[in-house]
Amino acid sequence: MTVSPRRRLKAAAAVVMSACLAAGCSTSGGTDDAASGSSGSGGTYTIWDPYPQFDDSADWVKLLQKCGTDAGVTVKRTGYDTSDLTNKALLAAQQGNSPDVLIVDNPVVSTLADAGVLTTTEEMKVDTSAVEPNLLAAGQIGGKTYGIPIGANTLALYYNKAVLTAAGVDPAAVKDWASLTAALTKVKAAGKKGITFSAIGTEEGSFQFLPWFWGSGANLTKLDSAEGVSALQLWTDWLKNGYAPNSVINNTQTTSWQEFATGQFAFAENGTWQLGNAKKAGFEYGIIPIPSKAGGTAPAPTGGEFVTAPVQKNTGKYATTQKLIACLSNADNAFTTDTTLSYIAATDAVQTKQVAANAELKVWVEAVKAAKGRTSDNLGTKYPKISEPMWKGFQSALSGGKSPQDAFAAAQTSAAAATK
């Protein structure tokens, strides 16, 4: 049976409404056509984003206002926490008062598109031709594209120069899993700690596991492949041999960074968002890409948001919405925004400009070029149903409850049942 987008929206919104009622959150938000202006020009246009940390004095908000002025309209901007924003977007769509521009975390795009909330870039005449294909893929479902990435962040390996020097390790020699593990062996022998990461039983843990999983050559549709099991075996062996602390089982990316900041660890898997903290760490550091099993840069998952255009009853507004999106994604504005958000730009031209301004970003550009979206490979809304069994699987293995093979065999059974 084919389910219409409207019915999918109602089903998704019903779940969100139940959660909202349980949490006591507001279901208000959005602006109706009368408030937003009933014609395609003038009036007020609403923009929702996941950056509540920015107030009206921030460069980001000033850019939104400028884009509105340039388009001849007033912009009303609201910042929400990421999870709250998804709920608000679904409910607003059900009520027919979606914002004109919606900026959402890239894995959410497939959920909103599947529910019929978003227009396509073809409908909105948004030019995505300059965007790196691997980044754009996070917003593509069924051959259609639903938005344009504002930029991306991803993961790499930070290292402590003093710890590696004392252990006789050259970071440039770390090219694959074997050379990384050999480096960890030397670090432990020198009396220091090896590597810290986040293996917590949430999406945050899955985010950190994916470079090793994908770097093995594994595919998310078969968690228990020999390649996938080898990635889990790698993590399990590191804990067993004392190269990684048992605390990784409960580490978030923040607590993992705090461990690295003690100066006792050789490596930490973390993201571009820690660059500011790295400069404050009090020791010399460097950054290398996460290596694939057989060598080369592993595909790490992309973080970062897409600028999207929700469906509106008054389609006459789309022409102005397109101007707002074009303004937010043009090269000059993207450079400023991505610098503010510690993101790598979505286009090669702006990436080149970023590296010219800050040579330290070269390794991050390399990592982003090799990265992929969690919902890519046309997984779309299936991804969360695979991610949860995956994190439960590696938690089981790391805690010693099951072997890597048995843990991922059980995970695959659960994922297959959930994605039928």
Kindly state whether residues 64 and 185 are assigned to the same domain: no
Q: How far is CA 393 from CA 207, 348, 387, in A?
A: 14, 37, 10
Same domain assignment for residues 18 and 125 = yes
- For 46, half-sphere exposure in the C-beta direction (CA atoms, 13 angstrom radius) is 21
**Sole residue written with tokens 């571009």:** 272
Our count of domains for the chain comes to 2
Mark whether 184 and 287 lie in a shared domain: yes
Spatial CA neighbour of 91 closest among 144, 25, 36: 25
Specify the CATH number for the domain of residue 394.
3.40.190.10
pTM, full prediction: 0.86
* Structural domain harbouring 119: 5-149+305-342
Asked if residue 268 and residue 169 are part of one domain, the reply reads yes
Alpha-carbon gap, residue 55 to 98, rounded angstroms: 22
The angle, 0 to 180 degrees and rounded to 10, between the axes of the packed helices 318-329 and 331-341 is 60
| In the block, residue with structure tokens 């019929």 | 116
Other beta carbons less than 10 A from residue 412's beta carbon: 20
**pLDDT by 10s per residue, the chain, length 420:** 334 444 455 445 443 333 332 333 333 333 333 334 444 457 999 999 999 999 999 999 999 999 999 999 999 999 999 879 999 999 999 999 999 999 999 999 999 999 999 999 999 999 999 999 999 999 999 999 999 999 999 999 999 999 999 999 999 999 999 999 999 999 999 999 999 999 999 999 999 999 999 999 999 999 999 999 999 999 999 999 999 999 999 999 999 999 999 999 999 999 999 999 999 999 999 999 999 999 999 999 999 999 999 999 999 999 999 999 999 999 999 999 998 888 999 999 999 999 999 999 999 999 999 999 999 988 999 999 999 999 999 999 999 999 999 999 999 999 999 999
Do residues 333 and 413 both lie within one domain? no
Tell me, yes or no, whether 285 and 320 share the same domain: no
- CA torsion angle for 405, 408, 295, 162 (degrees, to 10)? -90
Instruction: Give 101's strand partners.
Output: 47
A 10 A CB-CB count for 12 gives: 23
Q: Is residue 145 part of a domain?
A: yes
Whether residue 397 is found in the same domain as residue 335 = no
